[in-house]
Amino acid sequence: MTKSELREQICRRLAVLSDEERMEKSRLICRWVMESDVFRQASVVMAFLSMPHEVDTTPIILGAWRQGKSVAVPKISWAQRRMIPVEIQSLESGLETGQKGLRNPTGGMPVPYEEIDLVLTPGLAFDAQGNRLGRGGAYYDRFFKSPGLTAQRWALAFSFQVVEAVPTGPEDESVDAVVTETGILVCRERTQSGGQ
Rg, C-alpha atoms of the chain: 16
CA dist list (Å): 16 to 1, 9, 108, 140 = 21, 11, 35, 26
- pTM across the whole model: 0.94
- Backbone φ and ψ of 162, nearest 5°: -90, 115
Query: Which sequence spans correspond to the domains of the chain?
Result: 3-186
**For the chain, how many residues are written?**
196
Torsion angle defined by CA atoms of residues 194, 142, 45 and 131, in that order, rounded to the nearest 10 degrees: -90
Q: What is the pLDDT of residues 67-108, one digit of tens each?
A: 999 999 999 988 888 999 999 999 999 999 887 778 999 988
Q: What are 119's strand-pairing partners?
A: 46, 153
pLDDT of residue 77: 85
% of the chain beyond a pLDDT of 70? 96
- Report which DSSP code applies to 113: G
Is residue 60 within 8 Å of residue 33, measured between CB atoms? yes
Three-state DSSP at 27 gives: helix
- Please tell me the predicted confidence (pLDDT) of residue 145: 96
Q: What is the CATH number of domain 3-186?
A: 3.40.50.10420
The DSSP code sequence of 135-160 is SSS-HHHHHHT-TT---EEEEE--GG
Q: Each residue's pLDDT tens digit in the chain (196 positions)?
A: 899 999 999 999 999 999 999 999 999 999 999 999 999 999 999 999 999 899 999 999 999 999 999 999 999 988 888 999 999 999 999 999 887 778 999 988 999 999 999 999 999 999 999 999 999 889 999 999 999 999 999 999 999 999 999 999 999 999 999 999 999 999 988 654 443 3
For residue 123, the Cα-to-chain-centroid distance in whole angstroms is: 7
Rounded to the nearest integer, the mean pLDDT of the chain is: 93
116 and 153 Cβ atoms separated by less than 8 Å: no
| Residue 189 CA to its chain's centroid (Å) | 18
